[in-house]
Structure 1
Amino acid sequence: MSELVDIFVTSVRDGFVQVSAFVAVTVLLFSYVQYKTDGALVRRLEQNRRAGPLVGAFMGLTPGCGGAIVMMPLYVRGSVSFGTVVATLIATAGDAAFVILALAPEAGLYAYGISFVSAIVFGYAVDTVGLGVGRIDRAVSRIGRTVTDGGFAAPTVGSQVHHYEEAQGCEVHDDATRHSPILTPLSKVALGAWWVAAAFGLVAGVLYLLRGAPDVPMVVAPSFAGAFTIFGITGTALSFYLYFVGRHYVGHGHVGKAKDTFANAQETLTHAAMETSFVTVWVIGAYLLYEYGLVFTGIEIQAVAAAAGVLAPVMGAVIGLIPGCGPQIVLATAYSQGAIPFSALTANAISQDGDALFPLIAIDKKAAIVASIYTTIPALIVGVGLHLLFGPMFGFGVL
Structure 2
Amino acid sequence: MASEIVDIFVFSVRDSYLQVSAFVAVTVLLFSYIQYRTRGKLTAKLGDNSRIQPLVGALLGLTPGCGGAIVMMPLYIRGTVSFGTVVATLIATAGDSAFVILALAPEAALYSYGITFVTAVVFGYAVDRFGLGVGRVDRAVSQLSEPMTDGGASVSVIGRSSNPAHAYEGPSPGHSHDTGPDRSSPILTPLSHALHAVWWLAAAAGFVIGILYLLRGAPDIPLVFEGSFDGAFTVVGLTGTTLSVYLYLVGRHYIGEGEIGRARESFASLYGTFQHAAMETSFVTVWVLAAYLLYEYPVALFSLDIAAVAAAAGVLAPIGGALLGVIPGCGPQIVLASAYAQGGIPFSALTANAISQDGDALFPLLAIDKKAAIVASIYTTVPALVVGVGLHLLWGPLFGFGVLAG
Shorter-chain TM-score above 0.5: yes
* Counterpart AA for 1:38: R
What residue number does 2:362 align with?
Answer: 354
Distance change >3 Å, CA 343–CA 264, structure 1 → 2: farther
Whether 1:231 and 2:221 are equivalent positions in the alignment is: no
The whole-number CA distance in structure 1 between the counterparts of 2:374 and 2:21 is 32
Residue 188 of structure 1 contacts residue 250 of structure 1 at CA under 8 Å; is this kept in 2?
Answer: yes
Q: Report SS of the residue matched to 1:192.
A: helix
Distance change >3 Å, CA 43–CA 71, structure 1 → 2: same
Greater mean alpha carbon deviation, residues 134-143 or residues 312-321? 134-143
Residue 174 of structure 1 contacts residue 257 of structure 1 at CA under 8 Å; is this kept in 2?
Answer: no
Q: CA deviation at 1:233?
A: 2.4
Partner deviation per Cα, 1:147-205 (whole Å, 9 max, x = no partner): 98999xx9xx9446565896643899964254152444333222121112223333444
Q: Report SS of the residue matched to 2:170.
A: coil
Q: 1:189-200, aligned counterparts within 5 Å?
A: 189-200=194-205
The whole-number CA distance in structure 1 between the counterparts of 2:365 and 2:60 is 14
* Counterpart AA for 1:103: V
Partner deviation per Cα, 1:330-382 (whole Å, 9 max, x = no partner): 432432453995645544543437246459948xx6x7776555444322212
What residue number does 2:329 align with?
Answer: 328
Whether 1:120 and 2:121 are equivalent positions in the alignment is: yes
Q: 1:107-146, aligned counterparts within 5 Å?
A: 111-126=112-127, 130=130, 132-133=132-133, 136=136
Distance change >3 Å, CA 179–CA 47, structure 1 → 2: closer
The whole-number CA distance in structure 2 between the counterparts of 1:141 and 1:301 is 27
Q: 1:67-106, aligned counterparts within 5 Å?
A: 67-72=71-76, 76=79, 83-91=84-92, 93=93, 97=95, 99-105=96-102, 106=106
Q: Report SS of the residue matched to 2:262.
A: coil
What residue number does 2:193 align with?
Answer: 188
The whole-number CA distance in structure 1 between the counterparts of 2:378 and 2:219 is 43
Q: CA deviation at 1:301?
A: 2.8
Distance change >3 Å, CA 197–CA 84, structure 1 → 2: closer
Distance change >3 Å, CA 61–CA 303, structure 1 → 2: closer
Q: CA deviation at 1:223?
A: 4.7
Whether 1:276 and 2:281 are equivalent positions in the alignment is: yes
* Counterpart AA for 2:362: G
RMSD: 4.6
Q: Report SS of the residue matched to 1:179.
A: coil
The whole-number CA distance in structure 2 between the counterparts of 1:138 and 1:208 is 41
Residue 17 of structure 1 contacts residue 232 of structure 1 at CA under 8 Å; is this kept in 2?
Answer: yes
The whole-number CA distance in structure 2 between the counterparts of 1:138 and 1:215 is 42
Whether 1:31 and 2:32 are equivalent positions in the alignment is: yes
Distance change >3 Å, CA 330–CA 252, structure 1 → 2: farther
What residue number does 2:183 align with?
Answer: 179
The whole-number CA distance in structure 2 between the counterparts of 1:149 and 1:23 is 28
The whole-number CA distance in structure 2 between the counterparts of 1:296 and 1:138 is 35
Whether 1:302 and 2:307 are equivalent positions in the alignment is: yes
Q: Report SS of the residue matched to 1:338.
A: helix
The whole-number CA distance in structure 2 between the counterparts of 1:81 and 1:237 is 36
The whole-number CA distance in structure 2 between the counterparts of 1:360 and 1:2 is 35
The whole-number CA distance in structure 2 between the counterparts of 1:254 and 1:239 is 15
What residue number does 2:397 align with?
Answer: 391
Q: CA deviation at 1:277?
A: 2.9
Q: CA deviation at 1:35?
A: 1.8
TM-score, normalised on structure 2? 0.70
What residue number does 1:57 align with?
Answer: 58
Q: CA deviation at 1:307?
A: 3.3
| Structure 1: 5+ residue stretches without partners | none
Partner deviation per Cα, 1:22-44 (whole Å, 9 max, x = no partner): 33223222221222122322333
Residue 77 of structure 2 contacts residue 165 of structure 2 at CA under 8 Å; is this kept in 1?
Answer: no
Whether 1:202 and 2:207 are equivalent positions in the alignment is: yes
| Structure 2: 5+ residue stretches without partners | none
* Counterpart AA for 2:76: M
Partner deviation per Cα, 1:59-108 (whole Å, 9 max, x = no partner): 4445333442254267x36xx666445434433x2xx71x2234343466
Q: CA deviation at 1:268?
A: 1.8
Q: CA deviation at 1:122?
A: 2.1
